[in-house]
Amino acid sequence: MGEKEKKEESWLRQLCGDDVKLYDVLASSLFFDPIAALPKEDLGVLIEAAEKSVKDANYEEAITKYRWALDKAIFEATQHQEEKDRYIKLIQDLLSKSTQATEKVREKAEKEGRIDRLGSLGRGTEYCKFVSERIEDVLEVARHFYDETLKVLGEKERGETRLEEKREQRRKEDTERKKPEEKRDKKGEKERREKGVEEDREEERERQREKETGEARRKKILEARK
């Protein structure tokens, strides 16, 4: 696990406080980069795919597809607070259908004597039960987690863009300095080197400012939750 992932994991733990069960459930279901990790298909398309698997009696596949839909629904609910009630009903319905599909697979596994399969199926049922009972808490923590994660990703992207623009400018200046017609004296070289060092320092100061801003924002969120 990289430094960024460890930091986000720590942030989730802070949001959950002493609620160990809530942390365990969300640590296995939230994403450090939801935009990249979640399915690109619309939520409606994901639900239709899961229901088709149920219709085809492919319950193993249905469990997986319902989980994709659940993860997407939880994320969308955090981003559309004005539709929170609608998303809660949708999530509860998905949890119920996922549990039903899981029960079908469990019955088949018991008949076939596949004892090894029962453990993971049981955990899936427990997940659905917990999220259904604690949906308000799940969405509240997920909202803070995803809002902050998206801010950090946006700041990182903007920061990288700014740094790349600066580096590109310095590359252009280097190219200009290397032209044959340019006279390069020792004093000029020294000034350019000093300029490069100062620009590197400014980049580091900018990264530090972004870090301090993020830490202050997280502290404010935690204080508000208390």
Residues 154 and 121 in one domain: no
Per residue in 94-104, pLDDT (tens digit) is 999 999 999 99
Give the angle subtended at the CA of 177 by the CAs of 174 and 161, to the nearest 5°: 25
Which amino acid, residue 42? D
Q: What is the pTM of this model?
A: 0.74
| Contact status, residue 68 vs residue 39, Cβ threshold 8 Å | yes
Q: Is residue 121 part of a domain?
A: yes
Residues in the chain where the model's pLDDT stays below 70: 1-2, 4, 156-213, 226
Residue 189: the pLDDT is: 59
Query: How crowded is residue 171: how many other Cβ atoms within 10 Å of its Cβ?
Result: 10
Q: Are residues 164 and 107 in the same domain?
A: no
Give the Cα separation of 190 and 70 in Å (integer): 60
Return d(Cα 197, Cα 118) in angstroms, integer: 61
One domain, residues 152 and 128 = no
* Dihedral angle of Cα 64, 128, 9, 42, to the nearest 10 degrees: 50
> What does the pLDDT read at residue 25?
95
Cα(74)–Cα(79) distance, rounded to whole angstroms? 9
The answer to whether residue 15 is domain-embedded is no
Indicate whether 17 belongs to any domain: no
Q: Domain count of the chain?
A: 2
Residue 138 resides in a domain:
no
* CA dist 41 → 45, 68, 107, 158 (Å): 6, 10, 31, 26
Q: What is the domain range of residue 216? A: 147-225
The per-residue pLDDT for 224 is: 73
The string of DSSP letters for 11-32 reads HHHHHHTT-HHHHHHHHTT--S
pLDDT for position 203: 63
Q: What is the pLDDT of residue 159?
A: 45
